[in-house]
Structure 1
Amino acid sequence: MKVLWARYLQSEAPAGVRHYGYERFCQIVTSHVRANDLTMPISHVPGHTMQVDWAGTRMGLVGRVTRKSTPVSVFVAS
């Protein structure tokens, strides 16, 4: 959703009109998806395929000795 919003922000806004904030943008997109039934279930045989993705915003992992923060991502598989 954040990638879609970033692309939206790069588009030219009509004269005198501001872009929507992220929260309002998400509300509008969600209502459009629901109204037009734009979801698509993924069917698969259990144990045969795996869905993977990176979850959310990167976090920081702080080393106990160095106190250096290293950016990390959460990998999700189901």
Structure 2
Amino acid sequence: MASTKITVNNNGSLKIQGDFEIVDREGNVYDLAGRDVLGLCRCGHSKNKPFCDGSHNGNFQHEAVAFALPPKKV
């Protein structure tokens, strides 16, 4: 089974790699031109949303440190 890994980068994008597809809210698939690694914008500055174009440099601060979420509500 293929896997997907998402890495939260410090002060930047979400790096997604592996076997994945990205769809818009209506289910239309983005043409990723064969890429199996790319960056997703999380700062809001990219002119190529939802993809990262590096616009976050100097405009976005977040130290990526893993933590446990609270228990899931039932």
TM-score normalized with structure 1 length: 0.24
Which structure is higher in strand share? 1
Higher helix share: 1
| Structure ranking higher on relative contact order (CA contacts 8 Å, 6+ apart) | 2
TM-score by length of 2: 0.24
